[in-house]
Structure 1
Amino acid sequence: MDASYKPHDRMAELLADELAQVNDLIRDRMASEHAPRIPEVTAHLVGAGGKRLRPMLTLAAARLCGYDGPYHVHLAATVEFIHTATLLHDDVVDESKQRRGRPTANLLWDNKSSVLVGDYLFARSFQLMTETDNIRVLRILSNAAATIAEGEVLQLTAAQDLATDEGIYLKVVRGKTAALFSAATEVGGVIAGASEDVIKALFDYGDALGIAFQIVDDLLDYQGVSAATGKNIGDDFRERKLTLPVIKAVALANTEERGFWERTIEKGIQNDGDLETALTLLNAHGTLEATKQDALSWADRAKAALEQLPDHEVRTMLRDLADYVVERIS
Structure 2
Amino acid sequence: MGVNHSLSEPLDRLSDAVADEMARVNALIRDRMSSRHAPRIPEVTAHLVEAGGKRMRPMLTLAAAKMLGYSGEYHINLAAAVEFIHTATLLHDDVVDESRQRRGRPTANLLWDNKSSVLVGDFLFARSFLLMVETGSLRVLDILANASATISEGEVLQLTASQDLKTDEDIYRQIVRGKTAALFSAATESGGVIAGASEAQVRALHDYGDALGIAFQIVDDVLDFGGVAAVIGKNTGDDFRERKLTLPVIKAVAQADARERAFWVRTIEKGQQGPEDLAEAMTILQRHGALEAAREDALAWAARARNALKVLPDHPVRAMLADLSDFVVSRVA
TM above 0.5: yes
AA in 1 matched with 2:220:
D
Q: Which residue of 2 aligns with 1:188?
A: 191
CA–CA separation in structure 2 for the residues paired with 1:87 and 1:206: 19
CA–CA separation in structure 2 for the residues paired with 1:226 and 1:3: 17
- Of 8, 15, 18 in structure 2, the residue corresponding to residue 15 of structure 1 is 18
Q: Which residue of 2 aligns with 1:260?
A: 263
- Of 100, 105, 112 in structure 2, the residue corresponding to residue 102 of structure 1 is 105
2:215 corresponds to 1:204? no
- Alpha-carbon distance change, 194 to 51 in structure 1, aligned in 2, over 3 angstroms: same
- Of 234, 251, 265 in structure 1, the residue corresponding to residue 237 of structure 2 is 234
- Of 225, 230, 241 in structure 1, the residue corresponding to residue 228 of structure 2 is 225
- Of 33, 48, 51 in structure 2, the residue corresponding to residue 48 of structure 1 is 51
AA in 2 matched with 1:89:
H
Q: Which residue of 2 aligns with 1:70?
A: 73
Q: Which residue of 2 aligns with 1:34?
A: 37
Q: Which residue of 1 aligns with 2:180?
A: 177
Deviations 1:88-115 (A, max 9, x none): 0000001111011001100110000000
SS at match of 1:32: coil
For structure 1, list consecutive stretches of 5 or more residues without a partner in the other structure.
none
CA–CA separation in structure 2 for the residues paired with 1:5 and 1:42: 26
2:310 corresponds to 1:326? no
Alpha-carbon shift at residue 16 of structure 1 (Å): 1.1
2:138 corresponds to 1:124? no
For structure 2, list consecutive stretches of 5 or more residues without a partner in the other structure.
none
Q: Which residue of 2 aligns with 1:134?
A: 137
CA–CA separation in structure 2 for the residues paired with 1:208 and 1:118: 26
CA–CA separation in structure 1 for the residues paired with 2:311 and 2:290: 33
Q: Which residue of 1 aligns with 2:250?
A: 247
- Size of the aligned set, in residue pairs, is 330
Contact 2:47 2:108 survives alignment (8 Å): yes
Root-mean-square deviation (CA, aligned residues, Å) is 1.2
CA–CA separation in structure 1 for the residues paired with 2:177 and 2:289: 24
Q: Which residue of 2 aligns with 1:6?
A: 9
Q: Which residue of 2 aligns with 1:156?
A: 159
Alpha-carbon shift at residue 5 of structure 1 (Å): 5.3
Alpha-carbon shift at residue 12 of structure 1 (Å): 1.3
CA–CA separation in structure 1 for the residues paired with 2:9 and 2:112: 34
Alpha-carbon shift at residue 271 of structure 1 (Å): 1.2
CA–CA separation in structure 2 for the residues paired with 1:55 and 1:227: 23
2:84 corresponds to 1:81? yes
CA–CA separation in structure 1 for the residues paired with 2:206 and 2:35: 34
Report the identity percentage: 73
CA–CA separation in structure 2 for the residues paired with 1:153 and 1:5: 33
SS at match of 2:236: coil
Q: Which residue of 1 aligns with 2:296?
A: 293
2:165 corresponds to 1:165? no
- Of 305, 308, 311 in structure 1, the residue corresponding to residue 311 of structure 2 is 308
Alpha-carbon shift at residue 196 of structure 1 (Å): 0.6
- Alpha-carbon distance change, 173 to 319 in structure 1, aligned in 2, over 3 angstroms: same
CA–CA separation in structure 2 for the residues paired with 1:137 and 1:308: 21
TM-score by length of 1: 0.98
Alpha-carbon shift at residue 272 of structure 1 (Å): 2.0
Deviations 1:266-288 (A, max 9, x none): 00001121111101100000100
CA–CA separation in structure 2 for the residues paired with 1:5 and 1:258: 39
CA–CA separation in structure 1 for the residues paired with 2:72 and 2:96: 37
- Alpha-carbon distance change, 39 to 269 in structure 1, aligned in 2, over 3 angstroms: same
Alpha-carbon shift at residue 227 of structure 1 (Å): 2.1
CA–CA separation in structure 1 for the residues paired with 2:13 and 2:109: 33
AA in 1 matched with 2:154:
G
Alpha-carbon shift at residue 4 of structure 1 (Å): 6.5
AA in 1 matched with 2:150:
T
AA in 2 matched with 1:108:
L
Which is further off, 14-23 or 204-213?
Answer: 14-23
SS at match of 1:209: helix
AA in 1 matched with 2:94:
D
SS at match of 2:225: helix
CA–CA separation in structure 2 for the residues paired with 1:125 and 1:236: 29
